[in-house]
Copies of this chain bind each other. A is one copy, B any other.
């Protein structure tokens, strides 16, 4: 039985605990989440534990990063189970604020990142990354960790966070954690809970098709043909709508030429099955 894991709901309590650890000379790690935790999140907690003596996990389903027609209300919430999983994984504190603690009366400040936020999910989900950038800035400044861990599954988000942390001089090290996957390659996601039994095998094809595409890019095939073939393959596999399959520069997500890749790249995709939108990405 792991020891009971404290859950705090205010920034004041969070800061008091972090300050006490820091006075004791301990490094503090931080893993921000929206809850509904799975093995992907837990792998990030373990990564944080390798780099810090104490690990804080936040659980906050941030309304400002959901569009008006997105799944904010439906997004799975399972705090009691999340806390149990985090205790087993060895986390030391859960910060689970309410919306009023995060966005008090009169809240009116936003953090925006240009460039890296514009293509891909930035184009498909207007306003999404401003919501992410603002809440992540807040969470990092509320907690004040030495190191914060974010999943590579949300690869564009990770690049946005790296950029805003550098640009705003937030004193924290950002670490990306590898994507955890099911046996068929499906990236673990809280949104996989939306998939029906019929949809679940189709979902696994997203990763299989990206693996095939990445292999072709590595053997020198041109970007434009590989992208087009992957979109076609997703549609044939049963995805109802493909938001994008794009090969981009690994760091700033700049567009590449249509020919063979010449520098570190990433292939990223977003596609819909039924009411579920899935994303995935691979290094090339």
Chain A interfacial positions (CB closer than 8 Å to B): 11, 15, 104, 106-116, 133-134, 137-138, 141-142, 144, 163-164, 166-171, 252
Chain B min CB distance to A90 (Å): 26
Query: Cβ of B116 and Cβ of A168 under 8 Å apart?
Result: no
CB-based nearest B residue for A101: B169
Query: Cβ of A15 and Cβ of B167 under 8 Å apart?
Result: no
CB-based nearest B residue for A115: B108
Query: Cβ of B108 and Cβ of A109 under 8 Å apart?
Result: no
**How far apart sit A24 and B68, CA to CA, in the bound complex (Å)?**
50
16 contacts between A and B (CB under 8 A): A11-B169, A106-B163, A108-B113, A108-B114, A108-B115, A108-B167, A109-B114, A109-B133, A109-B164, A110-B112, A137-B168, A138-B167, A141-B141, A141-B169, A141-B170, A141-B171
- What 8 A-B pairs come out closest when comparing CB atoms? A109-B167, A108-B114, A141-B169, A108-B115, A142-B169, A109-B164, A109-B113, A138-B169
Complex copy number for this chain? 2
Which applies to chain A's interface (DSSP): helix, strand, loop or mixed? mixed
**How far apart sit A108 and B141, CA to CA, in the bound complex (Å)?**
19
Chain B min CB distance to A203 (Å): 34
**How far apart sit A107 and B168, CA to CA, in the bound complex (Å)?**
9
**How far apart sit A164 and B164, CA to CA, in the bound complex (Å)?**
16
Query: Cβ of B168 and Cβ of A108 under 8 Å apart?
Result: no
Query: Cβ of B111 and Cβ of A168 under 8 Å apart?
Result: yes
**How far apart sit A109 and B110, CA to CA, in the bound complex (Å)?**
10
**How far apart sit A95 and B114, CA to CA, in the bound complex (Å)?**
28
A252 contacts across to B, CB distance below 8 A: 106
CB-based nearest B residue for A103: B167
Query: Cβ of B163 and Cβ of A109 under 8 Å apart?
Result: yes
Chain B min CB distance to A187 (Å): 27
Chain B min CB distance to A148 (Å): 14
CB-based nearest B residue for A144: B171
Chain B min CB distance to A96 (Å): 16
Q: List 4 additional contacts besides A109-B164, A142-B169; criterion CB under 8 Å.
A: A104-B166, A109-B112, A141-B141, A141-B169
**How far apart sit A166 and B103, CA to CA, in the bound complex (Å)?**
10
Contacts A141-B168, A142-B169: A109 and B111 contacting too (C-beta < 8 A)? yes
CB-based nearest B residue for A137: B168
A134 contacts across to B, CB distance below 8 A: 168
**How far apart sit A177 and B252, CA to CA, in the bound complex (Å)?**
42
